[in-house]
Protein backbone atom coordinates (compact mmCIF):
# COMPACT_ATOMS: atom_id res chain seq x y z
CA UNK A 1 0.00 0.00 0.00
CA UNK A 2 1.39 3.41 -0.98
CA UNK A 3 1.73 6.38 1.37
CA UNK A 4 -1.02 8.11 -0.59
CA UNK A 5 -3.42 5.20 -0.06
CA UNK A 6 -2.59 5.15 3.65
CA UNK A 7 -3.37 8.83 3.98
CA UNK A 8 -6.66 8.42 2.13
CA UNK A 9 -7.70 5.50 4.32
CA UNK A 10 -6.79 7.36 7.51
CA UNK A 11 -8.86 10.33 6.39
CA UNK A 12 -11.80 8.09 5.52
CA UNK A 13 -11.51 6.39 8.92
CA UNK A 14 -11.58 9.72 10.78
CA UNK A 15 -14.57 10.85 8.73
CA UNK A 16 -16.41 7.57 9.35
CA UNK A 17 -15.88 7.77 13.12
CA UNK A 18 -17.25 11.30 13.14
CA UNK A 19 -20.37 10.16 11.29
CA UNK A 20 -20.82 7.14 13.59
CA UNK A 21 -20.98 9.26 16.73
CA UNK A 22 -23.35 11.78 15.14
CA UNK A 23 -25.65 9.00 13.97
CA UNK A 24 -25.38 7.20 17.30
CA UNK A 25 -26.66 10.22 19.20
CA UNK A 26 -30.01 9.92 17.40
CA UNK A 27 -30.50 6.14 17.60
CA UNK A 28 -33.80 5.20 19.31
CA UNK A 29 -33.57 2.91 22.32
CA UNK A 30 -35.32 0.10 20.40
CA UNK A 31 -32.28 -0.17 18.08
CA UNK A 32 -29.59 -0.31 20.75
CA UNK A 33 -27.39 -3.43 20.58
CA UNK A 34 -28.21 -6.37 22.86
CA UNK A 35 -25.76 -9.01 24.06
CA UNK A 36 -26.72 -12.67 24.55
CA UNK A 37 -24.24 -14.76 26.57
CA UNK A 38 -26.48 -17.80 26.09
CA UNK A 39 -29.54 -17.24 23.87
CA UNK A 40 -32.49 -19.55 24.63
CA UNK A 41 -33.33 -22.54 22.49
CA UNK A 42 -36.14 -22.09 19.99
CA UNK A 43 -39.37 -23.63 21.37
CA UNK A 44 -41.17 -26.19 19.24
CA UNK A 45 -43.70 -24.56 16.94
CA UNK A 46 -45.88 -25.35 13.99
CA UNK A 47 -44.29 -27.82 11.58
CA UNK A 48 -43.36 -25.99 8.37
CA UNK A 49 -41.28 -26.77 5.28
CA UNK A 50 -37.51 -26.30 5.69
CA UNK A 51 -36.11 -22.88 4.75
CA UNK A 52 -35.39 -21.97 1.15
CA UNK A 53 -31.63 -21.74 0.67
CA UNK A 54 -30.07 -19.25 -1.74
CA UNK A 55 -26.36 -18.88 -2.55
CA UNK A 56 -25.43 -15.66 -4.36
CA UNK A 57 -22.16 -14.03 -5.40
CA UNK A 58 -22.96 -10.66 -3.85
CA UNK A 59 -22.05 -8.57 -0.82
CA UNK A 60 -24.09 -9.69 2.22
CA UNK A 61 -24.88 -6.11 3.30
CA UNK A 62 -26.24 -5.28 -0.17
CA UNK A 63 -28.30 -8.47 -0.18
CA UNK A 64 -29.72 -7.92 3.31
CA UNK A 65 -30.62 -4.29 2.61
CA UNK A 66 -32.03 -5.18 -0.79
CA UNK A 67 -34.68 -7.44 0.72
CA UNK A 68 -38.06 -5.86 1.52
CA UNK A 69 -38.14 -5.53 4.42
CA UNK A 70 -34.38 -5.74 5.13
CA UNK A 71 -33.31 -8.99 6.77
CA UNK A 72 -30.64 -9.50 9.47
CA UNK A 73 -27.07 -10.12 8.41
CA UNK A 74 -24.41 -12.20 10.19
CA UNK A 75 -21.26 -10.32 11.17
CA UNK A 76 -17.99 -12.01 12.11
CA UNK A 77 -16.57 -10.50 15.26
CA UNK A 78 -13.54 -10.60 17.53
CA UNK A 79 -13.89 -12.56 20.75
CA UNK A 80 -12.58 -9.60 22.73
CA UNK A 81 -15.43 -7.43 21.46
CA UNK A 82 -18.08 -9.63 19.83
CA UNK A 83 -20.22 -6.70 18.67
CA UNK A 84 -17.32 -4.95 16.99
CA UNK A 85 -18.13 -1.52 15.59
CA UNK A 86 -21.76 -2.60 15.25
CA UNK A 87 -21.98 -2.49 19.06
CA UNK A 88 -22.07 1.31 18.87
CA UNK A 89 -25.39 0.93 17.03
CA UNK A 90 -24.19 2.37 13.73
CA UNK A 91 -21.77 1.88 10.86
CA UNK A 92 -20.78 4.07 7.92
CA UNK A 93 -20.93 2.65 4.41
CA UNK A 94 -19.62 4.12 1.17
CA UNK A 95 -20.11 3.33 -2.50
CA UNK A 96 -17.59 0.76 -3.76
CA UNK A 97 -16.44 2.80 -6.76
CA UNK A 98 -16.27 6.38 -5.45
CA UNK A 99 -16.08 6.06 -1.62
CA UNK A 100 -18.90 8.60 -1.43
CA UNK A 101 -21.19 8.32 1.57
CA UNK A 102 -24.65 6.91 0.96
CA UNK A 103 -27.29 9.55 0.42
CA UNK A 104 -29.44 8.38 3.33
CA UNK A 105 -29.14 6.28 6.46
CA UNK A 106 -30.45 2.72 6.44
CA UNK A 107 -31.45 0.46 9.31
CA UNK A 108 -30.21 -3.12 9.41
CA UNK A 109 -30.31 -5.83 12.07
CA UNK A 110 -26.86 -7.33 12.64
CA UNK A 111 -26.04 -10.56 14.49
CA UNK A 112 -22.41 -10.53 15.62
CA UNK A 113 -20.84 -13.81 16.71
CA UNK A 114 -17.12 -14.56 17.03
CA UNK A 115 -16.01 -17.71 15.14
CA UNK A 116 -13.11 -19.79 16.39
CA UNK A 117 -9.79 -18.71 14.93
CA UNK A 118 -7.15 -20.90 13.28
CA UNK A 119 -8.59 -24.37 13.92
CA UNK A 120 -6.42 -27.48 13.69
CA UNK A 121 -6.73 -28.94 10.18
CA UNK A 122 -5.47 -32.08 8.47
CA UNK A 123 -2.63 -31.95 5.95
CA UNK A 124 -5.02 -31.21 3.07
CA UNK A 125 -6.44 -28.19 4.94
CA UNK A 126 -9.91 -29.25 3.85
CA UNK A 127 -11.02 -31.00 7.05
CA UNK A 128 -10.70 -30.46 10.79
CA UNK A 129 -8.21 -32.56 12.73
CA UNK A 130 -10.48 -32.82 15.79
CA UNK A 131 -14.24 -33.08 16.26
CA UNK A 132 -13.98 -30.37 18.93
CA UNK A 133 -13.45 -27.80 16.17
CA UNK A 134 -16.76 -28.80 14.56
CA UNK A 135 -18.54 -28.83 17.91
CA UNK A 136 -17.50 -25.24 18.62
CA UNK A 137 -18.49 -23.96 15.19
CA UNK A 138 -21.86 -25.75 15.30
CA UNK A 139 -22.46 -24.02 18.64
CA UNK A 140 -21.68 -20.66 17.03
CA UNK A 141 -24.12 -21.32 14.18
CA UNK A 142 -26.84 -22.33 16.65
CA UNK A 143 -26.20 -19.10 18.57
CA UNK A 144 -26.70 -17.08 15.38
CA UNK A 145 -29.99 -18.81 14.61
CA UNK A 146 -31.28 -18.51 18.18
CA UNK A 147 -30.56 -14.78 18.32
CA UNK A 148 -32.43 -14.33 15.03
CA UNK A 149 -35.38 -16.31 16.40
CA UNK A 150 -35.46 -14.34 19.68
CA UNK A 151 -36.13 -11.22 17.61
CA UNK A 152 -38.75 -12.90 15.45
CA UNK A 153 -36.74 -13.02 12.22
CA UNK A 154 -37.72 -15.69 9.71
CA UNK A 155 -35.08 -14.83 7.11
CA UNK A 156 -31.33 -14.43 7.48
CA UNK A 157 -28.32 -13.45 5.36
CA UNK A 158 -24.88 -14.91 6.12
CA UNK A 159 -21.55 -14.30 4.39
CA UNK A 160 -18.22 -16.06 4.82
CA UNK A 161 -18.70 -16.79 8.52
CA UNK A 162 -15.48 -18.39 9.80
CA UNK A 163 -13.95 -18.67 6.33
CA UNK A 164 -11.17 -16.54 4.91
CA UNK A 165 -8.32 -14.45 6.34
CA UNK A 166 -8.11 -14.33 10.09
CA UNK A 167 -10.25 -17.43 10.76
CA UNK A 168 -9.07 -20.12 8.29
CA UNK A 169 -11.91 -22.64 8.44
CA UNK A 170 -12.44 -24.96 5.43
CA UNK A 171 -15.32 -23.65 3.33
CA UNK A 172 -16.80 -27.09 2.61
CA UNK A 173 -16.83 -27.95 6.32
CA UNK A 174 -18.58 -24.68 7.20
CA UNK A 175 -21.17 -25.16 4.45
CA UNK A 176 -21.83 -28.69 5.68
CA UNK A 177 -22.30 -27.51 9.26
CA UNK A 178 -24.77 -24.83 8.21
CA UNK A 179 -26.75 -27.49 6.34
CA UNK A 180 -26.64 -29.89 9.31
CA UNK A 181 -27.69 -27.31 11.90
CA UNK A 182 -30.50 -25.92 9.75
CA UNK A 183 -31.88 -29.46 9.44
CA UNK A 184 -31.96 -30.04 13.21
CA UNK A 185 -35.41 -30.29 14.82
CA UNK A 186 -34.97 -26.98 16.63
CA UNK A 187 -34.32 -25.00 13.44
CA UNK A 188 -35.97 -26.96 10.63
CA UNK A 189 -39.23 -25.00 10.81
CA UNK A 190 -37.92 -21.80 12.42
CA UNK A 191 -36.93 -19.97 9.22
CA UNK A 192 -38.38 -19.47 5.76
CA UNK A 193 -35.23 -18.36 3.91
CA UNK A 194 -31.47 -18.31 4.48
CA UNK A 195 -29.23 -16.52 1.98
CA UNK A 196 -25.49 -17.13 1.78
CA UNK A 197 -23.97 -14.06 0.10
CA UNK A 198 -20.32 -14.46 -0.88
CA UNK A 199 -18.83 -11.71 -3.02
CA UNK A 200 -15.80 -12.12 -5.24
CA UNK A 201 -13.48 -15.04 -5.94
CA UNK A 202 -12.20 -15.57 -2.40
CA UNK A 203 -10.71 -18.94 -1.49
CA UNK A 204 -10.42 -20.68 1.86
CA UNK A 205 -7.27 -21.80 3.66
CA UNK A 206 -7.01 -24.88 1.42
CA UNK A 207 -7.48 -22.96 -1.84
CA UNK A 208 -11.13 -23.96 -2.33
CA UNK A 209 -13.43 -21.30 -3.76
CA UNK A 210 -15.77 -20.23 -0.94
CA UNK A 211 -18.71 -19.44 -3.20
CA UNK A 212 -18.16 -22.69 -5.08
CA UNK A 213 -18.16 -24.71 -1.84
CA UNK A 214 -21.53 -23.30 -0.77
CA UNK A 215 -23.02 -23.69 -4.24
CA UNK A 216 -22.01 -27.34 -4.30
CA UNK A 217 -23.47 -28.01 -0.86
CA UNK A 218 -26.81 -26.28 -1.40
CA UNK A 219 -27.30 -26.83 -5.13
CA UNK A 220 -30.16 -29.26 -4.49
CA UNK A 221 -31.76 -27.28 -1.64
CA UNK A 222 -32.63 -24.01 -3.38
Higher pLDDT: 157 or 10? It is 157
Per-residue pLDDT reduced to its tens digit, 109-132: 889 888 888 999 999 999 999 999
Angle (CA) 207-209-211 rounded to 5° is 155
pLDDT in tens, 98-111: 556 666 677 788 89
Residue 55 has a pLDDT of 96
Residue 165: band (very low, low, confident or very high) from pLDDT cuts 50, 70, 90: confident
pLDDT for the residue 42: 81
Residue 20 has pLDDT above 60, yes or no: no
pLDDT tens-digit readout, 64-89: 999 989 999 998 766 665 555 555 55
Query: Tell me, what's the pLDDT at 120?
Result: 94
Residue 17 has pLDDT above 70, yes or no: no
pTM over 0.95: no
CATH class as words, domain 3-218: alpha beta
Residue 13 has pLDDT above 80, yes or no: no
Average pLDDT, the chain: 81
Amino acid sequence: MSDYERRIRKALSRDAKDHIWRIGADIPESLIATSYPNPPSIPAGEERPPPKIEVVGEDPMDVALGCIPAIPVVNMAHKGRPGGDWETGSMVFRNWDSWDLWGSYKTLSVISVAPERNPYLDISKTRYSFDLERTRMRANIRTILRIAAVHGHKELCAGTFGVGPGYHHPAAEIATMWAEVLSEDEFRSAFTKVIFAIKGCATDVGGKGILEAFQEKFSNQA
